Amino acid sequence: MHRFLIWSSFILFFLTLLSPAPARGCACGCGMFDVQEPMELPAQTAAQLPARPGGMVALEYDFINQNRDWNGASRGSDGNNGDKILRTHFVTAEAQYMVSRQWGFSGEVPVWNRYFLTSDNNGNLVSYNHTALGDIRLRAIYTGISDDMSSGLTFGTKLPTGDYTSPGYDRDSEIGTGSTDLLVGAFHRGAVSDDQDWQWFVNAVWDQPVLMAAQYRPGAEFNGLAGASYGGLKFSGMTLTPLAQLVESIRMRDSGTFASAPASGYARLLGVPGLVLDASKLRFTASVGLPIAQFFNGDQLVAGEYFKFSVGCGF
């Protein structure tokens, strides 16, 4: 199963880069939400860029409760993992602005609240709760591959702004990674029906750490999604768009003196149904990620669901 996940991710990545551009212009403005730990759901491609110079600001809330042990392709024994619960609330302020039809910029500033229940050296359960700024992401967006803006590239960096020194947390469970990463992505959207109501889309991002801090380097990560949407549900000046998506993530093993390399790295495939409501310049998005197949090296904490809500405003 894990070999299937790995190969299908690479296929999805190359399809994203090579697919043609026959449809109307729309693209993922924020790219993927590039997680650094095996817990987070990528952002929805319904967050489209405007077809003219302009921008959008958004506030996003994510919730993940990792409370079950996973080893390989199946659930493991909770007694084999000293970590018991990793529960995180994510609040992210996002902004994007297209200075022209071809070029734009985006930024994400996250704040996390993380509860961690683990075992100490004597086997006693101890808990920690920490709130801090996360790792900021900045990107440039290029949509000039096709005239209709249906295909494009993103490239940028993840900054080491998140706290990675909080007492009680392992390096792979800290809010920040301490690393500086390069982010490279591609996206494409096409029409399935002549009336443009049915759309399909693909999106992929590669996250490559290039600078490490305090002898810990997080694993490089690939996130890709493919999905379809229907935008024909219009009423009272609003549009309700159902989404159906497959989201795949592959993360390599961590490295460095303070890394737990044997229990790091994974491949995961999620089914992600969602809804987007457009009302004038406002956009509301809700989705839930449900694991379809996953493979984790060693014993790691996983979640049964991944929740995402956001509200955005165009200008």
C-alpha to C-alpha distance for 218 and 195, rounded to whole angstroms: 45
Give the number of other CB atoms < 10 A from CB of residue 144. 13
Share above pLDDT 90 across residues of the chain, in percent, rounded to a whole number: 66
**Sequence-distant (≥ 6) Cβ neighbours of residue 196 within 8 angstroms:** 23, 24, 231
Q: How high is the pLDDT of residue 191?
A: 86
Q: How high is the pLDDT of residue 52?
A: 58
**Domains of the chain: residue spans and CATH:** 2-314 (2.40.160.40)
- Angle (CA) 234-310-235 rounded to 5° is 10
Q: How high is the pLDDT of residue 21?
A: 31
Q: Which residue has the tokens 């609040």?
A: 91
Half-sphere exposure of 120 (CA within 13 A, CB side): 8
CB 268, CB 235: distance < 8 Å: no
Task: State the Rg of the chain over Cα.
Answer: 19
pLDDT per residue as tens digits for the range 287-299: 999 999 999 999 9
Q: Which two tokens stand for residue 155?
A: 């490239």
Residue 45 clears pLDDT 90, i.e. is over it: no
Residue 50 clears pLDDT 60, i.e. is over it: no
Distances (CA, A) of 41 to 100, 147, 165, 177, 238: 30, 30, 25, 18, 26
